[in-house]
Chain A
Amino acid sequence: MPPARKHSFSSVVKLLLDASWYLVALGLCLAVCLLLLVAFSEPGEMQLGIPVTFEMTLRADAPLVLPAAVEQARIAKGSGTLIVPIGRGGFLYATVTTLIVLLAIGLWILDQLCAVFRTVRDGKPFTAANVRRIRWVGVGVILGEFVASGSALFGNYYAAGHVVSDGVRFGGIPIVSPTGIMHGLVILAIAEVFRTGTRLDEDQSLTI
């Protein structure tokens, strides 16, 4: 297979991947710096965004002016980010450490994709190493969805124990995004295509 041309689509994707890699690496460095900062100094007032899901009962305090207004309605599965001021403590350490772990996983996934695109540029994408890389990326995407749901569950638990608001009830089990799972499955299917491609490529190379 001939190597990818310099200005081909794969080169553009490689450029985007490289840019993403440097951005995530920068984010990881900043997160580590933040962890060191909160560990060895007294930070000022900080705010933290926590992903939460909630139920909200809507009440019409003002006189109803709409002819067909509904008086009792509620938001059943709302989701958003709860911004809370936090001080130095275990919760902050746990949050920053989780952020570092997630960024490290993201950097590893980008590293795997960069390695795949290096082989595409060299004209030898069908290798057992690429099958393994793509398969792990798929598994990583699916696991990432569960981690995101887990962090929302933790956020709900924290919000339910620390935040009181009339008409709003934090809680419920966050639903794992079917779109994210589907993305992971698509990547796993591509890994299988690569596995078959690798076998065919090997057959081809041993056909005299």
Chain B
Amino acid sequence: MAIRVNLDRVLLDRRLSLTELADRLGITLANLSVLKTNKARAIRFTTLDALCRELQCQPADLLEHVPEA
């Protein structure tokens, strides 16, 4: 996938664990783990909005386009 999710880096900067974020967002840990490990096929705007709100960041901080070789 050409889009990389940098959730782990943002979580590290905020000193937050994945479990804690899952609790705050009301998203299951399994789903958040899928997102963190770049296995997700798509992300809803509502999820992105919730992530940006909780992590005090912009979508560009979470998502990165990586050109495929």
Contact = CB atoms under 8 A, between A and B. Distances in A.
B36 to A, nearest CB: 10
Please classify the interface of chain A as helix (H, G, I), strand (E, B), loop, or mixed, using the class held by over half of its residues.
mixed
Nearest to B43: A208
Contact of A207 (B27, B32, B44): B44
Interface in B2-42: 27, 31-32, 34-35, 39-42
Interface string B34-62: 11000111111001000000000000000
Interface residues of B, number: 12
A180 to B, nearest CB: 40
Contacts of B39: 206
Interface residues of A, number: 5
Contacts of B31: 208
Interface string A138-163: 00000000000000000000000000
B56 to A, nearest CB: 20
Interface string A175-206: 00000000000000000000000000011001
Nearest to B31: A208
A200 to B, nearest CB: 10
Interface of B: 27, 31-32, 34-35, 39-44, 47
Interface of A: 202-203, 206-208
